Chains A and B, each alone.
Chain A
Amino acid sequence: MRNLFLALALLCTALSIQAQTVRNSCKWDEEVKKKCKRDLKPFHYYAFKITKITFNSKSQFKEVEVPLFHDANYRFVFNTEGLHQDVKIEIYDKPASNSSRRKVYDGTSHERHFVYDPPKNATHNRIYIDYIIPASNNSDANVIDKGCVIFYSGFKN
């Protein structure tokens, strides 16, 4: 009898594995790399991050903190071709926990590939990139949608 329960548990696990398919649109290939490198010029490479997103039934919020240093200018290159669904991208001078923060950029991933040069007076020693991720527009509960945003940045003294 115990073995039967064990086998049934195995069956349920097998069925649940089968039930969910992951659709990952994340794109970080040679073509995207070339675009990012091209648009970073004349800035020197500074930092790189792939922010992975898993869409689910609820909207989500992700904030990425970027340290900036005195005397340098920066360039941010975003590539959102690896998103199956659009997300909002907002950039602030302070984190979401600070009520006096100021928005310095407002856009959506619909732009697919764009460059933003934070103005020197808008940034001090940090900048905060907020990704506002809507609930998944995928009605098939058996499919999990994943994607990513590529952040590529440069500096210039």
Chain B
Amino acid sequence: MNKKVSSVLAIAVCVFAISCGDSKAPDANPVEDNEEAVVHEVEVIEGDFDEPEFIIPSALQISAMFKNSGLSYIDGITNNPEKVSDYNSKFEKLLNFGVYSGDLFYCILNDQSQMSIKYLKAVRQLADETRMSGIFNTGPLFERFETNIGNKDSVFNIMLEFQEKTDMLIAENNEEHTAMVIFAGAWIEGMYIGLDAANNSGNDNLKARLAEQMGIVENLIKGLQFQPNRSDETAAIEGKYQAILDYFLSIKGVKGADKYSYDETALADADWKKLYEMVRDLRSEITKS
């Protein structure tokens, strides 16, 4: 009985304290002092963890750089857009959101209109399935893309807008960890296509741009480690990106004057081949192909 009385009393004291607290809350500027109200206005959601302190580069710019370095279109090298339903976990879907984004940019830059539409559909499906449908819902992005498909400059600008909307949606919802996974997928697809071409063509300009991309991998791995619900699956994938970086950095003479400078001429043909194989194997695992 005594226990019951003490509990009831204590709960009553708590309720009283809470109601007293309300009356003592600063009321000079109720909007500014009310976090919920301010957050709603700003539309930036507060998370429980800090965001990583680096910027993820634009996958579209990377594709454009490869294209400017002489990367031409290779029929059939991209991931089949009909495989879009093969990805089950959110992690798989996000990685392949990135892969298909990379394929989409590659097709656009190479005037592959019909393939571009297929990849945009695949990206839209994965966006819907990963709660990122807002990218396509804030304006007729898909319709504008189809209407302008013959106009390369317009389509490029629409893709810049797509990238911008994705980044903003992610930042506003405190989902930076999501962006890291998408970028990891886009990066592996871009490198796979680029390395395949470099191995077959011996294009030195493209090789220089591919080596430059290795400077991104360290942050890409940090981004994967930043995932809030890391599983064995994420750790295994992360380990494979690390192995690619470790192999690249182990090549004699590749390290340049500063941390992210590399001398691509230090890579022998066998090194390029090995790098390609490592990237190809990881890409096969991610895309299930």
Q: Which of A19, A23, A27 contacts B33 (CB 8 A)?
A: A23
Chain B residues near A121: list those with CB within 8 A. none
Q: Is the CB of B55 within 8 A of A66?
A: yes
Chain B residues near A143: list those with CB within 8 A. 26, 33
Q: Is the CB of A49 within 8 A of B55?
A: yes
For B209, the closest partner residue in chain A by CB is A70
The distance in angstroms between the C-alpha atoms of A48 and B234, with both chains bound, is 25
Q: Is the CB of B61 within 8 A of A72?
A: yes
Q: Chain B 61-80, CB within 8 Å of chain A: the 1/0 string? A: 11011001000000000000
Q: Chain B 30-48, CB within 8 Å of chain A: the 1/0 string? A: 0011110011011110100
Q: Is the CB of B53 within 8 A of A48?
A: no
Q: Is the CB of A70 within 8 A of B17?
A: no
Chain B residues near A48: list those with CB within 8 A. 164, 167-168, 171
B258 within 8 A of A: yes
Chain A residues near B209: list those with CB within 8 A. 69-70
Q: Chain A 31-73, CB within 8 Å of chain B: the 1/0 string? A: 0000000000000111111111000000000111111011110
Q: Is the CB of B7 within 8 A of A7?
A: yes
A29 within 8 A of B: yes
The distance in angstroms between the C-alpha atoms of A32 and B62, with both chains bound, is 27
- How many chain B residues sit at the interface, stated as a range, is 35 or more
Q: Is the CB of B10 within 8 A of A65?
A: no
Q: Is the CB of B260 within 8 A of A126?
A: yes
A83 within 8 A of B: no
For A144, the closest partner residue in chain B by CB is B35
Q: Is the CB of A18 within 8 A of B21?
A: yes
The distance in angstroms between the C-alpha atoms of A25 and B24, with both chains bound, is 22
B56 within 8 A of A: yes
Q: Is the CB of B64 within 8 A of A157?
A: yes
Q: Is the CB of B18 within 8 A of A67?
A: no
Chain A residues near B168: list those with CB within 8 A. 48
B12 to chain A, nearest CB (A): 9
A113 to chain B, nearest CB (A): 16
B172 within 8 A of A: yes
A98 to chain B, nearest CB (A): 8
Q: In the complex where A24-B38, A48-B167 touch, is A71 in contact with B65 (Cβ < 8 A)?
A: yes
The distance in angstroms between the C-alpha atoms of A126 and B20, with both chains bound, is 53
Chain B residues near A14: list those with CB within 8 A. 14, 17-18, 21
The distance in angstroms between the C-alpha atoms of A62 and B50, with both chains bound, is 11
Q: Is the CB of B53 within 8 A of A69?
A: no
| Stretch in B99-107, B110-118, B189-197, B211-219 with 4+ CB within 8 Å of A | B211-219
Q: Which of B267-283 contact A (CB under 8 A)?
A: none
B86 within 8 A of A: no
Q: Is the CB of A64 within 8 A of B53?
A: yes
Chain B residues near A72: list those with CB within 8 A. 61, 65
B102 to chain A, nearest CB (A): 16
Q: Is the CB of B261 within 8 A of A7?
A: no
A135 within 8 A of B: no
Q: Is the CB of B212 within 8 A of A25?
A: no
By Cβ-Cβ distance, the 10 closest A-B pairs, closest first, are A7-B10, A18-B21, A22-B35, A65-B54, A3-B7, A4-B6, A45-B164, A48-B167, A24-B38, A66-B55
B-to-A contact residues, CB < 8 Å: 3, 6-7, 9-11, 13-14, 17-18, 20-22, 24-26, 32-35, 38-39, 41-44, 46, 51, 53-58, 61-62, 64-65, 68, 160-161, 163-164, 167-168, 171-172, 208-209, 212, 215-216, 219, 258-261
A-to-B contact residues, CB < 8 Å: 1, 3-4, 6-8, 10-11, 14-15, 17-19, 21-29, 44-52, 62-67, 69-72, 82, 94, 124-126, 142-143, 146, 148, 151, 153, 155, 157
Given contacts A1-B3, A7-B14, A24-B39, 12 further A-B contacts (CB under 8 A): A4-B10, A7-B6, A11-B13, A21-B33, A21-B35, A24-B46, A25-B38, A29-B43, A67-B54, A69-B209, A94-B258, A153-B55
